[in-house]
Structure 1
Amino acid sequence: MKQHAPATERNRGPIAEVLSRELPASGTVLEIAAGTGEHAVFFAGRFSGLGWQPTDPSPEALASIAAYRDEYAGGNLAEPLLLDAAEPDRWPVVAAAAILCINMVHISPWQATEGLFHGAARLLAGTGGPLILYGPYIEQGVETAPSNLDFDASLKARNPAWGLRAADALDALADQHGLRRTARYALPANNIMLIYRII
């Protein structure tokens, strides 16, 4: 039932450090594409003053999240919800103080990222809350690590609709929905975090 992602234990600390700077003091964090649920449990424990709402489009992932949640002692981790980022008008969530999306943008069709920004613009309107993305991205003027180029090739071999996205393309998409990038953080293993907020 429980799934395990080895990278989670390596990246959760650096991600949490950024979250400590960017998350609001109260409210609910909506985690899109929460995967195994390991991040959700860790962050819910680290930020006990916030509610944590994990979601995923995969029934297997939802089962894994639920299994980890069953072992979580705190009361601020909600039951996982089925949510497809590509269908923002059907999200089962009507409000959030922040939205977190880890390692989804490159392992999904572009339509999922379009839906992510569309839904984020609606949920975060008037809150001042951030949309926070984590993963490997291609940046203009920044040399792409060979390991990321290899990863991009492997993703496209698995599914031509997948692949590393250009940060500039995300910025342009954000602009279409009234969001603007307010911060960029370089993290280990050639990953970055991008922060967007309503203009």
Structure 2
Amino acid sequence: MTDGPEPWQPGSGPAIAGKRHAPATLRNRDAILAILRDELPASGLVLEVASGSGEHAVHFAAALPALDWQPTDPDPAALASIEAWRAEVDLPNLRSALLLDAGQSWPMQQASAILCINMVHISPWEATLGLLARAGAALPLGGLLYLYGPFVRAGVDTAPSNQMFDASLKARDARWGLRSVEAVEAAAVAHGLILDRLIDMPAHNLSLLLRRRD
């Protein structure tokens, strides 16, 4: 089954106002972390775009204490959830959440690496184009832009669950839907980003590792 977005649930543990829980996070966070351990720099600032509930930020910041983690989201309710999780764990390397829309001007201009999980398919294509453009400007040479989620690929059969998920996304918003790896790769090149690796992930998802090359 596709590891796609699910309805928010109340956070576990002591009740904290605004805290959300995304069930998919528990299923994918360790598989993603295994890749990040190998691919992220030893130190520096990691900018997470579209942090959602904030659970990924908490998990990754705890596991990678040498990196500063900057969560962001365009949704005020998501920002409140991130801050609720952040208050609970009190990690020194987890920064306060910032309002950031991938397709608009960003509040920060530089990052050692950029992470974006499960956003590309549940936002207009313009958001992905904005992400690629601003990542290309913000990353150092060799810097990583990590994308995770369901995609389609030329010459590769799309899993039935992903086909159904794509149809449900488009029914919710005609601007949404699974993007092709080739479309993302082509758009990235214009901003100095090259698809370095593509990794198959559980539940018919992919990790796209793009790096700044010029």
- Alignment TM-score > 0.5, same fold: yes
Percent of matched pairs sharing the same residue: 57
Which residue pairs with 1:155 in the alignment? 169
- Structure 1 residue 178: deviation in Å? 1.1
Q: How big is the shift at 1:124?
A: 0.5
Match of 1:133 in 2: 147
Q: State the alpha-carbon separation in 2 of the partners of residues 186 and 59 from structure 1.
A: 32
Q: 2:123 aligns with which of 108, 116, 119?
A: 108
**SS where residue 209 of structure 2 aligns?**
strand
* Cα offsets for 1:40-72 (capped at 9, x unmatched): 000000111000000000000000000000011
**Normalization by structure 2: what TM-score?**
0.90
Question: TM-score w.r.t. structure 1 length?
Answer: 0.97
Deviates more, 1:117-126 or 1:161-170: 117-126
Contact map agreement 2:112 2:140 (CA 8 A) in 1:
no
Find the counterpart in structure 1 of residue 31 from structure 2.
14
Q: Runs of 4+ in structure 1 displaced over 2 angstroms?
A: none
Q: Note the aligned Cα RMSD (angstroms).
A: 0.7
Per-residue Cα deviation, 1:115-141 (whole angstroms, up to 9, x for no partner): 000000010044x21000000000112
Q: Supply the AA of the counterpart residue of 2:75.
A: S
1:73 CA displacement: 3.2
Residue type of the alignment partner of 1:101: C
3-state DSSP class of the match of 1:24? Answer: coil
**Aligned: 1:59 with 2:76:** yes
Give the structure 1 partner of residue 88 of structure 2: 71
> How many residues in Structure 1 have an aligned counterpart in Structure 2?
196
1:180 alignment partner in structure 2: 194
Structure 1 unaligned residues grouped into runs of 5+? none
What is the CA deviation profile of residues 1-34 of structure 1, one whole-angstrom value per residue up to 9, with x for unaligned ones? Answer: 1111000000000000011111000101000000
The answer to whether the 8 Å contact 2:162/2:204 transfers is yes
1:172 maps to a residue whose letter is A
- Quick check: 1:37 aligned with 2:54? yes
Write the distance in 2 (CA, Å) between the matches of 1:96 and 1:80.
15
Name the structure 2 match of 1:119: 134
SS in 2 for 1:43: helix
